[in-house]
Structure 1
Amino acid sequence: MRSKLLTGDSAKKNFIYQFGYQFVILVIPLIVSPYLTRTLGSRALGIYTYTYSIAYYFVIVAMLGISKHGQRIVAARKRDLLKLRRTVWSLTTLHIIVSIAVFVVYLLYALLLSRSERNVVLAQGIYVFSAVIDFTWLFQGLEKFKTVVIRNTIVKVLECICIFLFVKSPDDLVIYTIIMSLSTCIGFIIVLPQMISTIKPIKFTISDVMEHIKPMLVLFVAAVAATLYTIFNKTLLGILSDVTDVAFYEYSNKIITIPRTFIVVISTVLFPKACKMAASGKFNEMGKLLRQSLIVNYFIGFGSVFGLLAVDDLLAIEYYGSEFAICGDIISAMSPLILIIGLGEIMRSQFIYPLKMDKAMVWILFFNAGINLVLSSILIPRMGVFGAVIGTIVAEIFGLIIELYICRRYIKLRDFIRMGIPFLCTGIVMCVAIRLISPALPQNLSSLIIEIIVGAIIYIVISFLYCYFAIDEAKQIILSNVRKLKEKMVRK
């Protein structure tokens, strides 16, 4: 009998689950971050971020490229239960061996090499251990996002409660680190019974394990390269600048990450679907899927970029407090990354990885990492946080240009630019409108909320009208949903 888990949820349901979860992780940081900036302060948060960046390198090695490879191969083999079981358990065995070895190395580093904040470094070890039991790739490959979403939601809520209960001052940094690391670990433990009971253990051969090593190593190298120009900036700031700069960079990035996560949802949900299309040779459908995703990315990206440019200074002070006022300028400088990284993520998840162009992606990521490393190393000692921001933006732009070149058979550069122009213009209109009303309002939280609401209404209304009248496919989707809503109201 075919397990229910092997029948993936529809793309629509997966979008609902993922957007529901993104709402949760959007709201919780909105509540927790202002509390943390006022209780722990910039120095303690800088230490946490710096030590986390070190721990993250070990997690990348522990995962050994299994996230993308696992999703891809599970999506391709889920129709054959016997083959799927062998695949999952051979992958799992390899993963556990590697991740336990990495955890042991991390403990040796924490005990023998780390000279400052050793307790914080040891507490981050719980996070490194969580990689041993991270089987998120399985549920994502099976397109069962409900399991992952429910788990993550429960964990995030408990994490939030614990922070308010136990973190009261900078002296509670170790407690905060334990809460963050333990919540990740518990989240993975929750779904272990479901994974084991559904994909029952089966005998496999050494050749079953060996087939995964090469593709995983390629994706691992890609993950390392990607890490070099994301997390590595925080490490460089900790080495070349001050830990407070690490905190300013991290908490500015948290604001940028909020809208970016919605774009990542699109990529995460559609990745297994793109893999199935690629395996079936449905390249025209892949191109259509890419164009739809780009429209959504432009809508979210330009709206977020110009929205943040309009309210940056007031947002930083009201949200994080006066100690983090500099975050307003950093947020403005970082805001283009929402759009640039989102576009790159869509290209990778819907074409480059599904078409197994992993080696090309590795070269792109290392090229980007090299640009970022050189620029950041030169600019951080002179410009601090802004040097890291410039390095990242330049690297991401170069990477996106190369990815567009790789995908040129499926989407033309002219069409790529043309689709974004209406949302660019709408974003500018929104930003100008907010800037015009801002001087008439007092500089407080109420004014910030008013500015956000006014800007959102302007942007959404104009974008909706454009999509309805200029994009036939969008019009059909809107009319279809309106009809369904009317039918539901009639039935009631």
Structure 2
Amino acid sequence: MKSKNVIKNFLYNSLYQLLIIITPIITTPYISRVIGAEGIGTYTSTLGVAQLFSIIGMIGIMNYGSRSIAYVRDNNNKLTKTFWNIWLIQLIFSSISLLIYFLIFVGYSPLGFREIFIIQSPIVIGAIFDISWLYVGLEDFKKTVSRNILVKIVGILCIFIFVKSYDDLYKYIAINSISTFLGILTLWMFIRQYIRKIDFSSFKISEHLKGAFLLLVPQLAVHFYTGLDRTIIGGLSNLTEVGFYDQSQKISRIALSLVTSLSTVLMPRIANMFANNDTEKIDDYLYKSLNFTVLISSLLMAGIAGVTNDFVPVFFGTEFNIISPYMIITSLIVVFIPIGGVFANQYALPTGKNKEYIMPLVLAAIINILINFTLVPKLGALGGVIAIVLTELITMCIRIILIIRYINVRKILSDIYIYIIVGIASSSLTILLGKLFSPSILAILIESIFCIVIYSILIYIFSKFLENI
């Protein structure tokens, strides 16, 4: 039954990620042509700032809260007390973060950007009300799926109805920020199924502050090289290069959101096992999870790299042809991030090994900033692409090294090299096939099917060969 629940939650979370994915897949070709690279650069660089203050306001509660809820979910009294204590911390710090955001970026930004920061403010306000961590800890992923269906559909329709040119950039930003905020608010519709009324006498927030602050550090570190990197690149080059950099990662990030669904699902399950001293099955979970993760991520990496040369002009428009090699390089993160994520999000985080979870991310932020400052002034968006790929590779290696003494890493990693080799071979053959076609939807479809077939055949051959050794 537990295995069935994991599969069900994985499917629910995958569907949730698909809902998030649907918006950029449908709107990106349109938006790339309507507001262009500079408009996208303006949007993403200001979004990075708003997201930073949202993360500060949450002070690590997204991970700490879901883990804490997983520990006590079998006891309703403890569950209610834990939820309100954690949310009170979130309310206090998110309000302070919102105030600072308005004082600095709304109060002192130049005209033009001041209005944009105001329009982005629902992202920061949303941090006050975001209780998705409750449903993650409860393993109730159905709620997080259902919350966004209508909101996403309305958001997509609004983009096509109201955004017609670069002059509608403000409208585009407003649609995205407000739809995100409304999606967050819908989570409160379901809370009474699990949580009783507030008991003011039960507030003891001090016991949660340290744990939350510890997990704020890695979230800030991650945001420095996956959110603020666009702001940094904009400062070191220009907004057009930010647009190229952002779009070069778009498809890989979409693929990642699918692959990392399993980490989100297994984190509370392993946390609950750890709390109940049921540690025997953890290695088995990690082995199966890593093999499944790398099997899928290597195929996605191969597909992205294989079809890129035809995909870019069709999907993004000819203005973005320059990013084709950038996308091929960036596709590597679809493998690097999930491998590291298994050891970090499925083991270090749920078992409370904070040092092993935090250290790689802090080092990653430092490494990324140093590489960006070295390469971006000379190479622009390409420098940012190289920086993010190297950062994720180093982070993955550090995460594995730090966990070696706790689990049988050699056994867990034993089979994944097959998928990576096959992925590289499949992408190379698909790129060669693509030289026979001109960019078109039909060419992309043929190349995608070819890549999947070649990948499947090679995996089958390798598996049979290893069985006979």
- For Structure 1 versus Structure 2, the TM-score category normalised by the shorter chain is over 0.9
CA apart distance, 1:359 = 2.9
The more displaced of 388-397 and 72-81 is 388-397
Matched residue, 2:438: 442
Given that 2:307 and 2:447 are in contact with CA atoms closer than 8 Å, whether structure 1 keeps it comes out as: yes
Q: Which residue of 2 aligns with 1:159?
A: 155
- Give TM-score scaled by structure 2 length: 0.94
Q: Residues 174, 186 of structure 1: CA spacing in aligned structure 2 closer, same or farther, 3 A cutoff?
A: same
The superposition leaves residues 411-456 of structure 1 with CA deviations (integer Å, 9 ceiling, x where unpaired) of 5554455412221232234224323432333332211111111211
Q: Does residue 213 of the first structure (1) align with residue 209 of the second (2)?
A: yes
Q: 2:34 aligns with which of 15, 35, 39?
A: 39
Q: Tell me the alpha carbon deviations over residues 197-221 of structure 1, each in whole angstroms, 9 at most, x when there is no partner.
A: 6412232447621100000010011
Report deviation, 1:189.
1.3
- Aligned with residue 117 of structure 1, among 113, 125, 136: 113
Question: Equivalent residue for 1:149?
Answer: 145
**Do the aligned partners of 1:9 and 1:144 also contact (CA within 8 Å) in 2?**
no
In structure 1, C-alpha distance between the alignment counterparts of 2:384 and 2:115, rounded to whole Å: 28
Partner of 1:67: 62
Q: State the shift of 1:370 in Å.
A: 1.2
Q: Which of 420, 426, 433 is equivalent to 1:430?
A: 426
Task: Give the 3-state SS of the residue equivalent to 1:229 in structure 2.
Answer: helix
Q: Is 1:289 equivalent to 2:285 in the alignment?
A: yes
List aligned pairs for 1:343-362, cutoff 5 A. Answer: 343-362=339-358
Cα deviations by residue, 1:240-288 (Å, 9 ceiling, x for unpaired): 0110111111111111112111221010011101101222333331111
**1:312 equivalent in structure 2:** 308
- Where 2:199 maps in the other structure, the secondary structure is coil
Partner of 1:3 in structure 2? none
Q: Which has the higher contact order (CA 8 A, sep 6+)?
A: 2
8 Å CA contact 1:55–1:128 kept in 2: the answer is yes
In structure 2, the CA distance between the partners of 1:440 and 1:402, relative to structure 1 (3 Å rule), is closer
The residue number in structure 1 matching 2:24 is 29
Query: Shift of residue 185 of structure 1?
Result: 0.8
Secondary structure in 2 matching 1:355: coil
Gaps of 5+ in 1: 1-6, 472-492
Query: SS of the residue aligned with 2:101?
Result: helix
User: Which has the larger displacement, 203-212 or 331-340?
Assistant: 203-212
**Gap runs ≥5 in structure 2:** none
Where do residues 42-441 of structure 1 align in structure 2 (5 Å cutoff)?
Answer: 42-115=37-110, 116-196=112-192, 198-205=194-201, 208-409=204-405, 411-412=407-408, 414-415=410-411, 417-441=413-437
Query: Which 10-residue stretch deviates more, 462-471 or 340-349?
Result: 462-471
Structure 1 Cα separation of the partners of residues 66 and 466 of structure 2:
36
Structure 2 distance, partners of 1:67, 1:248, is 30
Q: Is the 8 A contact 1:299 1:463 kept in 2?
A: no
What is the distance in 2 between the residues matched to 1:98 and 1:227?
18
Judging changes above 3 Å, is the alpha-carbon distance between structure 1 residues 228 and 436 closer, same or farther for their aligned structure 2 residues?
closer
Aligned partners of 1:464 and 1:186: how far apart in 2? Answer: 46
2:371–2:387 CA contact under 8 A, matched in 1 = yes
- Cα distance, 1:146–1:413 mapped onto 2, change above 3 Å: closer
| Equivalent position amino acid for 1:130 in 2 | G
Deviation at 1:195, TM superposition (A): 1.2
Is residue 20 of structure 1 aligned with residue 20 of structure 2? no
Question: Distance between the aligned counterparts of 1:8 and 1:397, measured in 2?
Answer: 31
Q: Say what the alpha-carbon RMSD is for the aligned residues.
A: 2.2
Superimposed CA distance per residue, residues 66-125 of structure 1 (whole angstroms, 9 cap, x where no aligned partner): 001110010110111111111111111121111112112212223321114221111001
Q: Residue 353 of structure 1 aligns to which amino acid in structure 2?
A: L
CA deviation after TM superposition for structure 1 residue 470, in Å:
6.4
* Residues 339, 364 of structure 1: alpha-carbon distance in 2 compared, 3 angstrom cutoff: same
Deviation at 1:58, TM superposition (A): 0.4
Letter in 1 for 2:21: L
In structure 2, the partner of 1:481 is none
Q: What TM-score do the two structures reach when normalised by structure 1? A: 0.89
Other structure's SS at 2:164 match: coil
Corresponding residue for residue 458 of structure 1: 454
Which residue identity is paired with 1:93?
A: L
Change (3 A) 1:448 1:430: same
Name the amino acid aligned to 1:343: I
Answer yes or no: is the 8 Å Cα contact 2:66–2:136 preserved in 1: yes
- How far apart, CA to CA, are the structure 2 residues paired with 1:421 and 1:9? 28
Q: Equivalents in 2 of 1:280, 1:467: separation in Å? A: 37
- Separation of aligned partners in 2, 1:433 and 1:333: 16
Distance 2:259 2:225 in 1: 19
Amino acid at match of 1:277: M
